[in-house]
Structure 1
């Protein structure tokens, strides 16, 4: 048994005061943290319950949306504004986990779930995320689900969130509070690649608390989230794509694209976006852009197939979005 204490924060100031204590962890829905405590991977001394904070979804003055960190995933997917203006986000949430987990999990907690693979849970295996400097057994082990972009010799795990992939494609901004005040962080910069320190997964400082995620106004056109996985439900993505596309007179005017299942963090496909913008909305152009994005991809023994799969998912997603705009 690992003893710990529990405090329920009544407001953000109290949460930050408690969260600054040594060994404190913020508790949202607990769908990841509690599991890690059961597996004796996480050993918090104090759990600070923040489930009563930041639980609303509000319109912003510029036509965007501000989603509180304590909002449940189910509520995000069901919100009429999300479904109308950001359908890829609703689709991504519904593609993740089970209904029971979505009913418990919060937006802030979803962003902070650990990037992990099976070796992370196995205390007989070498895992740099669990014990820095011990090595990574996944590199030469069973690595079918693992990273093809941005990996390192220290870690090849992939970020598990579906929601975060859509939020990255939507140019979401994360608001956090801390002892030194508040700051806003573009979500594309919030998670970090493993490098030599895979145990560090975000740019959050000790004691900082996510308070909200803000979405800018949606671009004209259509958006979609597409996920390829080994079974129809409750499985992490082999490859996923979140895309927003605006085509006018056969030309790509605006495009946003992010990938899941490929890296240690949600992957913004900037090379593909650059190749697509201002060009023809054709299958050939989509394939060329996908190849440009995956040019630096490197496969392991069991996951090299993901490189071509990612290209196919990108093309298929963009083709379907183009067809939806043509039949409006």
Structure 2
């Protein structure tokens, strides 16, 4: 190339005419807008779906203002310190065996009595089971099995009995009918449990070890008491396992990513529940959202302490309360320190 010849010099970027950059910039803008629209649609869809789930619960849940009516001399709720912010729910498994539905709870049996302690950090739920044969003082009725409180005075008297026993305020009450439990196990395709003792409840046989139960079979499994070495205590353990199995299936990927199945599960769960009138939808929603990161290991089952079995003055078989350890459990509930209690009482957890 001669010295007088010049090489073509590329146009400076700044000298490019608008017609050279417009197509690329327009394409970029369109792409960004498209992504934004898609994200907005996803947000709207998710919000709409959550709204539908919320409505599904609200429209199927039963509320009963009488569940905590007339309560007096109640323990104070901690306003500061480690126990502030923790929640305590009384969960009652009510067995009508007559298809009456959970709203007709007068005269039914409280086959399952648990206090669900939700930590202030919302990172754990401790389900504390109180055997129905636990021999305790029932306000106004003297000593009796704890489930007699439900018979004598319905849910309010059971709340008073537990508040007196634990010196802990019960925030809310939820009653689930066992028929609802049967339906839930069907919807999740059965739940797997570790069956400690082989047993038979005609026409069902439950071998020892890991088994899967659902429907009427699951109902027979959680109802059985006779034929088990620990009687009522073994039944409580079975009930705890089935409850946990339903919870784990409910948050599993198979259910959580299936809108139809999740909707059916939410409707069935809500329709089998009766809660006290003070538990409004806003509180229910905010509490559920605050616990959205819970996993299987975050649900811990605890057994109310007993020293063994005995007979009441009337000759009925009873579970004898361990009063010393009960005081420790009460303090742990008040201070939101169940890990400390379980460290000292490892046999009390499952």
The TM-score range, normalised by the shorter chain, is under 0.3
Q: TM-score, normalised by structure 1?
A: 0.23
Structure 1 or 2: more helix by fraction: 2
Q: TM-score, normalised by structure 2?
A: 0.22
Higher relative contact order, chain-length normalized (CA < 8 Å, sep 6+): 2
Structure number with greater Rg is 2
